[in-house]
Each structure stands twice: as C-alpha cells, then as structure tokens.
Amino acid sequence: MSTPAMQRYAAEIYRLQQDSQFVALTELSEHANSSAQATARMVARMKKLHYLDHEKYRGVRLTIKGEKIAMPSLRRHRLVEVFLVKVMKYGWDEAHEISDSFALGVNDQIEDRIDEITEHPTRCPHGEPIPSKDGVMPALKDVNLLEVPSGSDCVISRVRTHDGDKLRYFADLGLVPGVRFHLFSCAPFKGPLNLQVKPNNHLIGYELAGSLWVEVTKLGEGNKLPPQAR
C-alpha cells in the first residue's frame, strides 16, 4: 500500500515526465526537496512495490500503478493552488511553492471543503488539469506553442513553468490560461514569436514561448497540427 510520501514522489515524477520519458534521480531529488540518499531509498521502495521502473543512467518512470497513486497528491496540490490564488489572493507565481508545504496539512475533509469553496475547479491557476476525486486525469488536446504554424488563432491552455519571474512577465503581457491570441509569425532559427493579444502585439522569445501550451481554434492556412492536438 502506498504512503503519503510515496504519493508525493509519484506526483513529482508524473509532473517531470511531462517533459521527458525518464526522470533523473538528481532532478527528482531537487524537485522533491530531499537528499540524494533519501530519494534513492524511496525509489528502491517504490520499485519493489512496482510503482516505478528504474533504469541505470536513464532514471525513473512511473508504471500504470505508479500513475494511479500520483493522482491524490496531484489533485490536492492543484486544488490548494486554486485556493491560494482565488481565496487567499496569492499570486499565481507564489502558489506552487506555498502549496508544497500547505498541502501537507490538508486532510480529506479539508480537501473536500476547498473543492467546494473554489467551485469544483478543473484546472489549477497555471492551467494544469486537476484529477477527479476517483483519480481520473482529464484528457487535454493542447500543443506546445512552438509547434503551432504561423497564422493560427489560439487560446492558452497551460503555462508550464514555476519560475516566478516568467510567470509575472506572462501576467504583465496578459498571457494567462483562457486568453485568446493570434500567432502572426515565428522568426527562423529560433527567433522571437509575434503574438497579438487584442489590442496589443507582443514579441516573446523562443525559449519563453516554449512554456506556453495552447489549443488551436483556427489553423493557419495550408498547415497541419501535430497528432496530439487533433
């Protein structure tokens, strides 16, 4: 049977797996705020219980069983983020870090109350989906902005960074989940992207744009979307 600590580790691995198939132990240790020795011990315990696979020189990845135990911690963390921003009026750039410690004191009863007070949200302030109480993660059909062809109309689905400076900058530009914009162009060789968020135009760097995940509402003429966004 999984422990709360295992669920938190599984949740961190789940988040990190969104960007790579395997998660390095050093990266997991950093994000779980634990020592290398503690992380190695936890990984060994979770591997023994078939919650994850561990390949030398590559790292770890969750099994289907491991993904299942990640859902309660992900749900609680993201609900708390909504509560911190919507009710307690913290900035979205503060919510993730505060939620890490705040959620440790939340039990099932408080979680249900937070869900009710925040009107049963389906996304956290950054746009990440909130698993249902029975552990089902909502499916998304979004795509990284860097994969979207010029001339497309989009709506921001997720802002996938916890860097406070980046989040504050995105907020200043009005580039937050739910906002619609038009992608005019992307300069070649990883140049800046030209976006129109009416009535303003913004140039944002290629690397920064990689933090934005979008749903395409109108595709640029003569282009096709990546399979995951169809």
Q: pLDDT tens digits for 56-72?
A: 999 999 999 999 999 99
Q: Is the pLDDT of residue 230 over 60?
A: no
Distance between first and last Cα of the chain? 38
The H-or-E segment that residue 54 falls in is: strand 52-55
Q: Specify the pTM.
A: 0.90
Note the pLDDT of residue 25: 96
Q: Domains of the chain (ranges plus CATH)?
A: 1-138 (1.10.10.10), 143-229 (2.30.30.90)
CA dihedral sign of residues 131, 2, 33, 113: positive
Contact 53, 61 (CB under 8 A): yes
Sheet holding 153-159, edge to edge: 143-144, 212-218, 153-159, 180-186, 193-197, 200-204
Which of 138, 5, 6, 127 minimizes the C-alpha distance to 63? Answer: 6
Chain centroid, CA 154 distance in Å: 19
Note the pLDDT of residue 139: 92
Distance between CA atoms of 46 and 54, rounded to whole angstroms? Answer: 10
